[in-house]
């Protein structure tokens, strides 16, 4: 244990009410940045000779097309992206509309006629400027979200060079900074073989997240601010026309942090031919994880400068209306978007902290504490004031995942065992643990099956005898029955592979295909197999198979393995040289299971998994 001494000069006895207000002038904005961000910390200024995003010329866009056959029948049932909130579509690399499949491959978007299978073929390929982060499909509109980085040299100097007359000796140190932009590209795909670019919106900053709600795409971008003058104002570019965000349109927080960023929220109605995007910009700490409900965007910023806390900004959204609503703070830091949830007007958030920077409840004191990781849960009202809390869950254990479902929360922590906590949030002011299940291994992701069952995706483990730890082994899928919240039960397990096995589904929920009505679960996996000659238990074993595992899932029988689908040729082992054939997404249209890799779309029967076709994306 490492003792930590803290000098604290304020008390949290009365919660501070935070808010965001617009700047009155450019001078006030610049003074705020240098006072809040640059005072007391050496922050190297970023040199950018052209900080504004640049409109793209026509030759930077291309679309190659092939002949397309149209399908005039009714659109069959089909899967959608596995999203956290119903009605809030999430950015992903693969989408489908029941007839066509759209997939990001080699930084392009391939459009594939997918149904019926007998007509399946690639009909078009779209290229845009920047790195494609994902896509949306909304009727006849295809939306592509990209990031673009442009590097610049930084004239940074330090002491130690030859003395100059009347000045300090300096040495030029080569370094680089970069200009970051995030973009929305909207294509009309009424004629799938000839997609037409209709609108481009470019915003300063890296992408923090994007969602599709109804016909509106909401994109959040974050632009770090340096400590050199002049401070560049953020800009958006609509179809080549620059729109500067003026100081009176920029809202700033009263919470100080070592780093400030312009965070811009943009709303675009993608159904319109010539949409007029709406935007609001906030000068806050760097936005990290976001949570989006049907009418709210919650931005989170970890605070490192004074306390181990997270700042939360609530932004209301309704079509093109974007409005700041409230600011709050909680101890600890957020793991991912599933650490947050909105329910019946309350915001629930789970955090992890070590406790060494917690604001203590006394005015001025010196305290020595021993850092120990812990998991906390807080309930906030619509004004983001904390009204309920449950703290110090599993001290000394790491926080792995959480899932909020109605008036319950499910949290997983881990050190040598996997405690699954069932927490009641029925009384928002008094969260309480109802039950706890201790099992070996750990769940990295929890997928709701129904109101009383959860699917856990994670790793099995073995204890390490020489220290208080464990070694992860192969993949472990669990089926949890929480119908009795006081006594949760692991009713079904599926274990496969040895140490080194992995799945994108453990860290990316969009890689999960789940449909309760079909009792269907599909996840991409890479299976490793232990070698008899291995003498190092901590070493990762070589992979022997990659593809999609298909399961039948029912409340009565739990998880039942049906089979696997791979894109690798028979007898070929997974390796660095064939990663383009690694399956990373699965979907279904009608009675057909589609698995997608960078180089192929393969079709198999949902009934018996027999192969019925494939389309090359190479």
Q: How far is CA 427 from its chain centroid?
A: 29
DSSP sequence for 126-190? EE-SSEEEEEEEETTEEEEEEEEEEEEE--EEEE-S---TTS--EEEE--EEEEEEEEEEEEE-S
d(CA 103, CA 617): 9
Q: What is the dihedral of CA 466, 472, 473, 474, to 10 degrees?
A: 170
For residue 486, pLDDT beyond 70: yes
| Four-residue CA torsion sign, 465, 466, 469, 474 | negative
For residue 88, pLDDT beyond 80: yes
For residue 477, pLDDT beyond 90: yes
Q: Identify the pLDDT of residue 229.
A: 78
Contacts (Cβ under 8 Å, ≥6 apart) of 300: 287, 288, 289, 290, 291, 310, 311, 312, 313, 334, 340
**Confidence category of residue 289, pLDDT binned at 50, 70, 90:** very high
**Confidence category of residue 288, pLDDT binned at 50, 70, 90:** confident
Place of tokens 């953020």: 234
| Cβ atoms of residues 141 and 189 within 8 Å | yes
pTM (predicted TM-score): 0.88
**Confidence category of residue 225, pLDDT binned at 50, 70, 90:** confident
What's the mean pLDDT in 20-42? 79
d(CA 299, CA 310): 10
What's the mean pLDDT in 336-351? 97
| Cβ atoms of residues 300 and 289 within 8 Å | yes
β-partners of residue 150 are: 179
Q: What is the 3-state secondary structure (H, E, C) of 96-121?
A: ECCCEEEEEECCEEEEEECCCHHHCE
Q: Identify the pLDDT of residue 537.
A: 78
**Confidence category of residue 534, pLDDT binned at 50, 70, 90:** low
Angle at 83 between CA 78 and CA 87, to 5 degrees: 80
For residue 332, pLDDT beyond 80: yes
**Confidence category of residue 5, pLDDT binned at 50, 70, 90:** very low
| Cβ atoms of residues 463 and 416 within 8 Å | yes
d(CA 212, CA 200): 16
Question: Which has more pLDDT, 154 or 418?
Answer: 418
What's the mean pLDDT in 394-417? 89
Contacts (Cβ under 8 Å, ≥6 apart) of 535: none
What's the mean pLDDT in 388-401? 91
| Structural domain spans, the chain | 18-38+79-152+177-287, 288-439, 442-617
Nearest to residue 126, comparing CAs of 113, 109, 142, 141? 109
Q: Identify the pLDDT of residue 308.
A: 84
For residue 165, pLDDT beyond 80: no
If residue 35 lies in a helix (H) or strand (E), which one and from where to where? helix 26-36
- Least confident segment among 179-193, 404-418, 536-550: 404-418
Q: Give the range with max mean pLDDT: 168-182, 344-358, 387-401, 445-459.
A: 445-459
Average pLDDT, the chain: 85
| Four-residue CA torsion sign, 45, 48, 54, 57 | negative
Question: Which has more pLDDT, 282 or 417?
Answer: 282
β-partners of residue 578 are: none
Q: How many CA atoms lie within 13 A of 83 on its CB side?
A: 22
For residue 13, pLDDT beyond 50: no
**Confidence category of residue 212, pLDDT binned at 50, 70, 90:** very high
Question: Which has more pLDDT, 579 or 177?
Answer: 579
What percentage of the chain has pLDDT greater than the value 90? Answer: 68
Q: Which two tokens stand for residue 2?
A: 């490492």
Question: Which has more pLDDT, 68 or 569?
Answer: 569
Q: Identify the pLDDT of residue 12.
A: 39
Strand runs labelled E in 234-385: 235-238, 241-244, 250-253, 261-269, 278-284, 290-292, 296-303, 309-318, 321-331, 340-343, 346-353, 365-369, 374-380
**Confidence category of residue 285, pLDDT binned at 50, 70, 90:** confident
Q: Identify the pLDDT of residue 467.
A: 60
- Least confident segment among 130-134, 294-298, 416-420: 416-420
What percentage of the chain has pLDDT greater than the value 70? Answer: 81
What's the mean pLDDT in 259-264? 86
What's the mean pLDDT in 243-268? 85
What's the mean pLDDT in 445-474? 87
Cβ–Cβ contacts within 10 Å for residue 396, how many?
10
């Amino acid at each position: 244990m490492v003792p930590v001494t803290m000098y604290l000069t304020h008390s949290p006895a009365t919660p501070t009410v935070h808010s965001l207000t617009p700047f009155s002038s450019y001078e006030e904005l610049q003074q705020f940045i240098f006072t809040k961000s640059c005072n007391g910390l050496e922050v190297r200024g970023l040199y950018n000779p052209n900080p504004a995003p640049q409109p793209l010329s026509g030759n930077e866009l291309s679309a190659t097309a092939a002949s397309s056959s149209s399908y005039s029948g009714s659109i069959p049932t089909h899967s959608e992206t596995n999203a956290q909130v119903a009605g809030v579509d999430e950015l992903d690399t693969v989408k489908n509309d029941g007839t066509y499949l759209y997939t990001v491959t080699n930084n392009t978007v391939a459009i594939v006629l997918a149904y019926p299978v007998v007509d399946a073929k690639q009909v078009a390929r779209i290229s845009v400027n920047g790195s494609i982060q994902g896509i949306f499909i909304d009727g006849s509109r295809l939306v592509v979200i990209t990031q673009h980085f442009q590097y610049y040299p930084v004239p940074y100097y330090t002491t130690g060079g030859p003395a100059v007359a009347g000045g300090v000796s300096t040495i030029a140190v080569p370094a680089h900074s970069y200009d970051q932009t995030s973009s929305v590209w909207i294509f009309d795909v009424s004629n799938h073989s000839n997609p037409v670019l209709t609108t481009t919106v470019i915003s300063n900053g890296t992408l923090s997240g994007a969602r599709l709600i109804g016909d509106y795409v909401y994109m959040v971008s974050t632009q770090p601010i340096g400590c050199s003058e002049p401070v560049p104002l953020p800009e958006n570019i609509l179809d080549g026309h620059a729109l500067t965000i003026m100081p009176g349109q920029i809202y700033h927080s009263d919470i100080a942090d070592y780093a400030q960023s312009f965070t811009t929220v943009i709303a675009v109605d993608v159904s319109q031919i010539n949409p007029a995007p709406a935007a609001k910009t906030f000068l806050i700490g760097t936005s990290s994880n976001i949570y989006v409900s049907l009418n709210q965007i919650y931005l989170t910023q970890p605070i490192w400068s004074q306390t181990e806390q997270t700042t939360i900004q609530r932004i209301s959204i309704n079509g093109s209306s974007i409005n700041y609503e409230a600011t709050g703070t909680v101890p600890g830091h957020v793991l991912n978007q599933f650490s947050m949830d909105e329910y019946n007007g309350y915001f629930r958030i789970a955090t992890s902290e070590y406790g060494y920077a917690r604001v203590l409840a006394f005015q001025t004191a010196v305290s020595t504490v021993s850092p120990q990781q812990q998991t906390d849960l807080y309930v906030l009202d619509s004004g983001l004031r904390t009204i309920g809390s449950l703290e110090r869950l599993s001290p000394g254990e790491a926080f792995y995942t959480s899932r909020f479902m109605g008036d319950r929360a499910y949290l997983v922590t881990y050190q040598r065992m996997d405690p699954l906590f069932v927490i009641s949030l029925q009384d928002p002011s008094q969260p309480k643990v109802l039950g706890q299940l201790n099992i070996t291994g750990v769940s990295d992701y929890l997928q709701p099956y129904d109101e009383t069952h959860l699917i856990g995706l994670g790793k099995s483990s073995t204890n390490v005898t020489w220290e208080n730890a464990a070694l992860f082994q192969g993949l472990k899928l669990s089926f949890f029955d929480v119908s009795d919240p006081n006594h949760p039960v692991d009713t079904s397990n599926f274990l496969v592979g040895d140490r080194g096995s992995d799945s994108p589904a453990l860290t990316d929920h969009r890689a999960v295909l789940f449909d309760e009505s079909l009792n269907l679960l599909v996840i991409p996996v890479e299976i490793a197999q232990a070698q008899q000659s291995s003498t190092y238990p901590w070493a990762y074993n070589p992979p022997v198979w990659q593809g999609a595992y298909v399961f039948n899932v029912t409340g009565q029988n739990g998880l039942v393995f049906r089979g696997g689908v791979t894109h690798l040729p028979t007898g070929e082992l997974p390796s660095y040289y064939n990663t383009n054939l690694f399956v990373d997404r699965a979907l279904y249209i009608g009675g057909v299971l589609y698995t997608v890799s960078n180089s192929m779309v393969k079709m198999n029967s949902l009934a018996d998994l027999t192969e019925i076709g494939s389309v090359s994306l190479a």
